[in-house]
Chains A and B, each alone.
Chain A
Amino acid sequence: MRLGLVLSEVGQGFRRNLSMVISVVLVTFISLTFFGAAILLQFQINQMKGYWYDRAQVAIYFCTDVQTEQPCNGAEASADQIAAVKAQLEGPTLRPYVKKFTFENHQQAYDNFEKQFANTSLAQLASPDILSQAFRVNMKDPSQADILSEQLSKQPGVEEVQDQRGLLDPIFSIMNAASYTAIGIAALMLVAAVLLISTTIRLSAFSRRRELGIMRLVGASNRFIETPFILEGVLAALIGSLLAGGAIIAIVQFFVQGYLQKTITNTAFVGLPDALVVAPILLLVGALLAALSASVAIRRYLKV
């Protein structure tokens, strides 16, 4: 009985301000889509970090005779110097951090370089003797690369200790910026959504103020009076969040997996499971925001 009454009031409210309800649906839809995209971007960044950081090595480059500046001064690193570095890598201080390391001589470096830059003019310019010999070190924990550079960069014959993670940072900072932008837009849109919901509820309450007055007079409980309004806001927002969740899933399924993953094959992208995590979050955020703003909006009509 009571539930039926409440639901019929919600239906009436929807019919009465249909255009407002539609705008609430659209605004929550768009804002939550941005919000979901921001979350997905963060997922993507984490996933790429995990993927690339595991593969990222620390390279210890040795001097070549073409390097005329400090610290090489045009002197090729001697076999003793290389052996000293190797001893350090195997020594008690660094051993615990290093998973494995390989040595790359001039010829191997040249081969790798040719492979990497095949069909470019750069490959023709290179020759084995200008490419540095190097140790390629895989760390147990990639974030501890600083230890290597602290220990080894001042060793004689070492030209540079390079943490390859540094090469990835610009990519990640671009993605981070994109995700913050999405969050910023989402926040603005969510503020708009909250204001729109409370305006809608106020309008709805105003058009029903006679009923509200009588309800208060005959002693309807506050919960009974406010429930239809809160439900009205929540329902509108839920429709918007459902659309947003659907949009997020569709983006992941058809754009990320269906297009990006096929074009860029050497990177893992967020998949459907990630989208299925994000969608319920969107529903929850949408419903909570709507319930909150609606109950604040209706409070004025409940004052005793």
Chain B
Amino acid sequence: MIRFDHVTKTYAGTTRPALNAVDLEVLKGEFVFLVGASGSGKSSFLRLVLKEERPTKGKIHVLGQELNTLPARKVPYFRRSLGVVFQDFRLLPQKTVFDNVAFSLQVIGKSKGFIQEAVPDVLKMVGLAGKQSRFPHELSGGEQQRVAIARAIVNKPAILLADEPTGNLDPATSAGIMQLLSTINANGTTVLMATHDSGIVDQMKRRVIELVSGQVIRDERAGGYQTQAIPVQKFNLTGSLVAHNEAAAQPSSRVTAAPAPAAAPAAAPAPAAAPAVAPAPTPVKAPVHDPASPPPLNEPGRRA
């Protein structure tokens, strides 16, 4: 689905890379959280997947396409198989809910008949049946985000990218949105979501990829916002330990050891410490990866 091979992205005029030699793979049907502080490279990651940016080094494969060699005129067609949701919804204020969703189909040349069918369906799915002719400003934030999600998935994309979709929403509304994203994921869409919302991440127990200063320092299955439960990939942890502890020092509902220095041993990825903070010491489920896929699998010793 998505594979990054040693991808580095350095923006013009800066020396510190936004992403630094990132290697990872996301498989079909996965639900992946991308966590990390602001500026850690989450948005750059999503922009690279969308081919809004080109990597400075390395190769990116998305949906079987090598993005570096994808010609510019084919990019629009590539994007039709991706859906994107943002923190700020990005709805068109002068269009109704229906028209906002229909717009994304109109501009890729879908027929009127198809639109008349697909839009009400998707609005029903996101729970906005009956609000078709409302304008965005008449809706609550959660409803607006549902419209944005409807717009993103109405064309049945294989991948849904969400850049902090709950960033503007209260916890209860966020839970509703997450419910919706789970449903979409259950229907077979790969979901990649960048977020700061530790509550959601801890609760969902999905794959978590943590970025610090453009490097993947953690990639675990059924992970929490800050824990090191079941790594999908191994990292040079001594190198990234300090950075990791910085992240661990941030307030979180899950971490009980409050002061930063004290948190170090607790949150450290030492095998013995891991179960203590793991959100739920679940045994590893059958890996979602198929056996042929490249990412390093769990080391038995790391399991609880």
Chain A contacts to B: CB under 8 angstroms: 1-2, 5, 210-211, 213-222, 224-225, 304
Contact between chains at B80 and A219 (CB < 8 Å): yes
Report which residue of A1, A218, A222 has the largest number of chain B beta carbons within 10 angstroms of its beta carbon: A218
A214-B92, A214-B103, A216-B76 are known contacts. Are A224 and B109 too (CB-CB below 8 A)?
yes
Is B84 at the interface (CB under 8 A from chain A)? yes
Partner of A5, one of B77, B84, B106: B106
27 CB contacts below 8 A, A to B, read A1-B106, A2-B106, A2-B109, A5-B106, A5-B107, A214-B92, A214-B103, A214-B104, A214-B107, A215-B107, A216-B76, A217-B50, A218-B104, A218-B107, A218-B108, A218-B151, A219-B78, A220-B76, A221-B73, A221-B76, A221-B108, A222-B76, A224-B108, A224-B109, A225-B107, A304-B72, A304-B75
Chain B, residue nearest A2 (CB): B109
How far, in Å, is A78 (CB) from chain B's closest CB? 87
A1-B111, A220-B108, A224-B109 are known contacts. Are A214 and B76 too (CB-CB below 8 A)?
no
Contact digits for B151-166, partner A, Cβ 8 Å, 1 yes 0 no: 1000100000000000
A294 to B79, CA, bound (A): 25
How many chain B residues sit at the interface, stated as a range, is 20 to 34
Since A216-B79, A225-B107, A304-B72 are in contact, a sample of 9 more A-B pairs with Cβ atoms closer than 8 Å, ordered by chain A residue number, is A210-B90, A210-B92, A216-B76, A218-B151, A218-B155, A219-B76, A219-B108, A222-B76, A304-B51
Contacts of B52 in A (CB 8 A): 304
Q: Which of B60-114 contact A (CB under 8 A)?
A: 72-73, 75-82, 84, 90, 92, 103-104, 106-109, 111-112
A220 to B73, CA, bound (A): 11
Chain B contacts to A: CB under 8 angstroms: 50-52, 72-73, 75-82, 84, 90, 92, 103-104, 106-109, 111-112, 151, 155
A214 to B80, CA, bound (A): 12
A235 to B151, CA, bound (A): 32
A219 to B51, CA, bound (A): 11
Contact between chains at A213 and B108 (CB < 8 Å): no
A214-B104, A218-B104, A219-B79 are known contacts. Are A1 and B92 too (CB-CB below 8 A)?
no
Report which residue of B76, B82, B92, B104 has the largest number of chain A beta carbons within 10 angstroms of its beta carbon: B76
Contact between chains at B111 and A219 (CB < 8 Å): no
A2 to B76, CA, bound (A): 17
Partner of B77, one of A1, A216, A217, A221: A221
Report which residue of A210, A215, A220 has the largest number of chain B beta carbons within 10 angstroms of its beta carbon: A220
How far, in Å, is A158 (CB) from chain B's closest CB? 75
A110 to B226, CA, bound (A): 118
Contact between chains at A219 and B112 (CB < 8 Å): no
Report which residue of A1, A219, A225 has the largest number of chain B beta carbons within 10 angstroms of its beta carbon: A219
Contacts of A213 in B (CB 8 A): 90
A224 to B81, CA, bound (A): 18
Which 5 pairs across A and B sit closest by C-beta, in order of nearness?
A: A219-B79, A219-B80, A220-B107, A218-B104, A219-B76
Contacts of B104 in A (CB 8 A): 214, 218
Contact between chains at B84 and A217 (CB < 8 Å): yes
How far, in Å, is A30 (CB) from chain B's closest CB? 36
Contacts of B80 in A (CB 8 A): 218-219
Contacts of B77 in A (CB 8 A): 219, 221
A298 to B112, CA, bound (A): 27
Contact between chains at B92 and A211 (CB < 8 Å): yes
Contacts of A5 in B (CB 8 A): 106-107
Contacts of B111 in A (CB 8 A): 1
Contacts of A220 in B (CB 8 A): 76, 107-108
A218 to B76, CA, bound (A): 7
Contact between chains at B79 and A218 (CB < 8 Å): yes
Chain B, residue nearest A208 (CB): B92
How far, in Å, is B263 (CB) from chain A's closest CB? 39
Contacts of A214 in B (CB 8 A): 90, 92, 103-104, 107, 151
A5 to B151, CA, bound (A): 18
A1 to B104, CA, bound (A): 14
Contacts of B72 in A (CB 8 A): 304
How far, in Å, is A6 (CB) from chain B's closest CB? 10
Contacts of A304 in B (CB 8 A): 51-52, 72, 75-76
How far, in Å, is B111 (CB) from chain A's closest CB? 6
How far, in Å, is B72 (CB) from chain A's closest CB? 5
How far, in Å, is B91 (CB) from chain A's closest CB? 9
Chain A, residue nearest B51 (CB): A304
How far, in Å, is B12 (CB) from chain A's closest CB? 14
How far, in Å, is B38 (CB) from chain A's closest CB? 22
How far, in Å, is B74 (CB) from chain A's closest CB? 10
A219 to B151, CA, bound (A): 12
Contacts of B92 in A (CB 8 A): 210-211, 214
How far, in Å, is B80 (CB) from chain A's closest CB? 4
Chain B, residue nearest A303 (CB): B72
Chain A, residue nearest B81 (CB): A219
A222 to B78, CA, bound (A): 13
How far, in Å, is A166 (CB) from chain B's closest CB? 61
Contacts of A224 in B (CB 8 A): 107-109
Contacts of A210 in B (CB 8 A): 90, 92
A267 to B92, CA, bound (A): 65
